Amino acid sequence: MDSLKRGEQIGLKNIFNHYYKYLWVTASNYVVDQNVAKDITQDVFYELWKKRESINVQTSLKAYLRRAVVNRSLNKIKSDKKYSFGDEGMDEGQADTSSDLQGKIEASELQQVINSAIESLPEKCRMVFSLSRFESLSHQEISEQLGISKKTIENQMTKALKIIRQAVRKYGISPVLLLICYLFGMG
Protein backbone atom coordinates (compact mmCIF):
# COMPACT_ATOMS: atom_id res chain seq x y z
CA MET A 1 0.00 0.00 0.00
CA ASP A 2 2.83 2.41 0.79
CA SER A 3 4.39 2.09 -2.65
CA LEU A 4 0.94 2.47 -4.20
CA LYS A 5 0.31 5.68 -2.26
CA ARG A 6 3.70 6.99 -3.43
CA GLY A 7 2.52 6.47 -7.01
CA GLU A 8 4.80 3.54 -7.73
CA GLN A 9 3.23 1.26 -10.31
CA ILE A 10 4.96 -1.76 -8.78
CA GLY A 11 2.68 -1.33 -5.75
CA LEU A 12 -0.42 -1.59 -7.93
CA LYS A 13 1.11 -4.48 -9.85
CA ASN A 14 1.78 -6.42 -6.64
CA ILE A 15 -1.74 -5.79 -5.33
CA PHE A 16 -3.19 -6.74 -8.71
CA ASN A 17 -1.20 -9.99 -8.88
CA HIS A 18 -2.16 -10.90 -5.33
CA TYR A 19 -5.90 -10.14 -5.43
CA TYR A 20 -7.04 -10.25 -9.07
CA LYS A 21 -8.17 -13.89 -9.20
CA TYR A 22 -9.99 -13.68 -5.86
CA LEU A 23 -11.80 -10.50 -6.90
CA TRP A 24 -12.66 -11.84 -10.35
CA VAL A 25 -14.18 -14.97 -8.77
CA THR A 26 -16.12 -12.75 -6.37
CA ALA A 27 -17.50 -10.68 -9.26
CA SER A 28 -18.29 -13.89 -11.15
CA ASN A 29 -20.52 -14.95 -8.26
CA TYR A 30 -22.70 -11.91 -8.93
CA VAL A 31 -22.69 -11.36 -12.69
CA VAL A 32 -23.17 -14.12 -15.22
CA ASP A 33 -20.97 -12.76 -18.01
CA GLN A 34 -17.32 -13.54 -17.25
CA ASN A 35 -16.16 -10.59 -19.37
CA VAL A 36 -18.31 -8.25 -17.29
CA ALA A 37 -16.78 -9.78 -14.14
CA LYS A 38 -13.31 -9.07 -15.55
CA ASP A 39 -14.32 -5.50 -16.41
CA ILE A 40 -15.67 -4.92 -12.91
CA THR A 41 -12.49 -6.28 -11.35
CA GLN A 42 -10.27 -4.17 -13.59
CA ASP A 43 -12.38 -1.08 -12.86
CA VAL A 44 -11.80 -1.59 -9.15
CA PHE A 45 -8.03 -1.64 -9.70
CA TYR A 46 -8.28 1.42 -11.94
CA GLU A 47 -10.20 3.29 -9.22
CA LEU A 48 -7.65 2.14 -6.64
CA TRP A 49 -4.90 3.68 -8.77
CA LYS A 50 -6.85 6.91 -9.35
CA LYS A 51 -7.60 7.34 -5.63
CA ARG A 52 -4.26 6.01 -4.38
CA GLU A 53 -3.22 9.23 -2.63
CA SER A 54 -6.48 9.72 -0.74
CA ILE A 55 -7.50 6.12 -0.10
CA ASN A 56 -8.02 5.21 3.54
CA VAL A 57 -8.47 1.49 4.10
CA GLN A 58 -10.06 0.90 7.52
CA THR A 59 -10.24 -2.88 7.19
CA SER A 60 -7.86 -5.22 5.41
CA LEU A 61 -7.05 -4.37 1.81
CA LYS A 62 -8.62 -7.67 0.72
CA ALA A 63 -11.90 -6.82 2.45
CA TYR A 64 -11.82 -3.28 1.04
CA LEU A 65 -11.28 -4.51 -2.52
CA ARG A 66 -13.87 -7.27 -2.12
CA ARG A 67 -16.47 -4.75 -0.95
CA ALA A 68 -15.68 -2.55 -3.96
CA VAL A 69 -16.15 -5.50 -6.34
CA VAL A 70 -19.40 -6.57 -4.67
CA ASN A 71 -20.79 -3.03 -4.80
CA ARG A 72 -19.86 -2.62 -8.47
CA SER A 73 -21.36 -6.01 -9.28
CA LEU A 74 -24.64 -5.17 -7.57
CA ASN A 75 -24.71 -1.78 -9.29
CA LYS A 76 -24.21 -3.52 -12.63
CA ILE A 77 -27.11 -5.88 -11.92
CA LYS A 78 -29.33 -2.95 -10.94
CA SER A 79 -28.36 -0.89 -13.99
CA ASP A 80 -28.98 -3.85 -16.29
CA LYS A 81 -32.39 -4.26 -14.70
CA LYS A 82 -33.23 -0.59 -15.36
CA TYR A 83 -32.24 -0.82 -19.02
CA SER A 84 -33.87 -4.20 -19.59
CA PHE A 85 -37.30 -3.15 -18.41
CA GLY A 86 -37.98 0.32 -19.74
CA ASP A 87 -41.29 1.92 -20.71
CA GLU A 88 -41.91 -0.51 -23.57
CA GLY A 89 -43.78 -2.91 -21.29
CA MET A 90 -42.88 -6.53 -20.84
CA ASP A 91 -43.90 -9.38 -23.04
CA GLU A 92 -43.96 -12.96 -21.81
CA GLY A 93 -40.22 -13.49 -22.49
CA GLN A 94 -39.32 -10.38 -20.55
CA ALA A 95 -41.40 -11.50 -17.58
CA ASP A 96 -39.31 -14.66 -17.43
CA THR A 97 -36.15 -12.55 -17.56
CA SER A 98 -37.48 -10.37 -14.74
CA SER A 99 -38.06 -13.47 -12.65
CA ASP A 100 -34.56 -14.73 -13.51
CA LEU A 101 -33.07 -11.37 -12.56
CA GLN A 102 -34.93 -11.39 -9.24
CA GLY A 103 -33.55 -14.86 -8.61
CA LYS A 104 -30.04 -13.65 -9.44
CA ILE A 105 -30.40 -10.71 -7.06
CA GLU A 106 -31.63 -13.04 -4.32
CA ALA A 107 -28.74 -15.41 -5.07
CA SER A 108 -26.38 -12.42 -4.86
CA GLU A 109 -27.80 -11.44 -1.49
CA LEU A 110 -27.43 -15.03 -0.29
CA GLN A 111 -23.87 -15.08 -1.60
CA GLN A 112 -23.17 -11.91 0.40
CA VAL A 113 -24.46 -13.60 3.56
CA ILE A 114 -22.29 -16.64 2.88
CA ASN A 115 -19.23 -14.52 2.08
CA SER A 116 -19.72 -12.50 5.27
CA ALA A 117 -19.99 -15.72 7.26
CA ILE A 118 -16.80 -17.02 5.65
CA GLU A 119 -14.99 -13.76 6.40
CA SER A 120 -16.10 -13.98 10.04
CA LEU A 121 -14.54 -17.43 10.50
CA PRO A 122 -11.46 -17.66 12.73
CA GLU A 123 -8.28 -17.45 10.65
CA LYS A 124 -7.30 -21.14 10.71
CA CYS A 125 -10.89 -22.22 10.10
CA ARG A 126 -11.26 -19.79 7.17
CA MET A 127 -7.97 -20.96 5.70
CA VAL A 128 -8.96 -24.64 5.87
CA PHE A 129 -12.42 -23.91 4.46
CA SER A 130 -11.03 -21.79 1.61
CA LEU A 131 -8.43 -24.38 0.64
CA SER A 132 -11.10 -27.08 0.64
CA ARG A 133 -13.95 -25.25 -1.09
CA PHE A 134 -12.25 -22.67 -3.29
CA GLU A 135 -8.97 -24.39 -4.11
CA SER A 136 -10.54 -27.89 -4.20
CA LEU A 137 -7.76 -29.41 -2.11
CA SER A 138 -8.30 -32.74 -0.38
CA HIS A 139 -7.96 -33.05 3.39
CA GLN A 140 -4.64 -34.81 2.80
CA GLU A 141 -3.35 -31.95 0.63
CA ILE A 142 -4.47 -29.36 3.18
CA SER A 143 -2.83 -31.37 5.93
CA GLU A 144 0.47 -31.39 4.04
CA GLN A 145 0.26 -27.73 3.09
CA LEU A 146 -0.62 -26.43 6.57
CA GLY A 147 1.19 -29.05 8.63
CA ILE A 148 -1.88 -30.00 10.67
CA SER A 149 -3.63 -33.32 11.14
CA LYS A 150 -6.53 -34.48 8.99
CA LYS A 151 -8.64 -34.68 12.17
CA THR A 152 -7.98 -30.98 12.82
CA ILE A 153 -9.04 -30.24 9.25
CA GLU A 154 -12.27 -32.20 9.74
CA ASN A 155 -12.96 -30.29 12.96
CA GLN A 156 -12.28 -26.94 11.29
CA MET A 157 -14.53 -27.81 8.33
CA THR A 158 -17.32 -28.88 10.70
CA LYS A 159 -16.95 -25.60 12.60
CA ALA A 160 -16.95 -23.55 9.36
CA LEU A 161 -20.02 -25.25 7.95
CA LYS A 162 -21.88 -24.84 11.24
CA ILE A 163 -21.16 -21.08 11.30
CA ILE A 164 -22.20 -20.71 7.65
CA ARG A 165 -25.41 -22.71 8.21
CA GLN A 166 -26.29 -20.47 11.17
CA ALA A 167 -25.75 -17.35 9.08
CA VAL A 168 -27.90 -18.75 6.28
CA ARG A 169 -30.68 -19.72 8.69
CA LYS A 170 -30.72 -16.14 10.00
CA TYR A 171 -31.21 -15.07 6.39
CA GLY A 172 -34.22 -17.41 6.21
CA ILE A 173 -32.83 -20.01 3.83
CA SER A 174 -33.04 -23.68 4.64
CA PRO A 175 -29.82 -25.70 4.46
CA VAL A 176 -31.46 -27.92 1.81
CA LEU A 177 -32.02 -24.92 -0.47
CA LEU A 178 -28.45 -23.82 0.18
CA LEU A 179 -27.23 -27.26 -0.90
CA ILE A 180 -29.32 -27.08 -4.08
CA CYS A 181 -27.92 -23.63 -4.87
CA TYR A 182 -24.40 -24.91 -4.25
CA LEU A 183 -24.90 -27.95 -6.47
CA PHE A 184 -26.24 -25.86 -9.33
CA GLY A 185 -23.45 -23.29 -9.11
CA MET A 186 -25.37 -20.51 -7.44
CA GLY A 187 -23.50 -20.62 -4.13
Q: CB–CB of 61/1 below 8 Å?
A: yes
The mean pLDDT of 36-42, rounded to a whole number, is 90
Q: Which of 7, 54, 30 has its CA nearest to residue 115?
A: 30
pLDDT value, residue 31: 78
Q: Which of 85, 114, 147 is the last residue of a domain?
A: 85
Give the CATH number of the domain where residue 31 resides.
1.10.1740.10
User: What is the predicted pLDDT for the residue at 95?
Assistant: 45
pLDDT over 80 (residue 161): yes
73 and 139 co-located in one domain: no
Would 149 be classed as within a structural domain?
Answer: yes
Are 44 and 26 within 8 A, CB to CB?
A: no
Q: In this predicted structure, which of 120-124, 140-144, 177-181 has the lowest mean pLDDT?
A: 177-181
For residue 94, is it within any domain? no
pLDDT at 84: 45
Measured CA distances, 184 to 28, 36, 178, 180 (Å): 14, 21, 10, 6
Percent share of the chain, pLDDT over 90 = 9
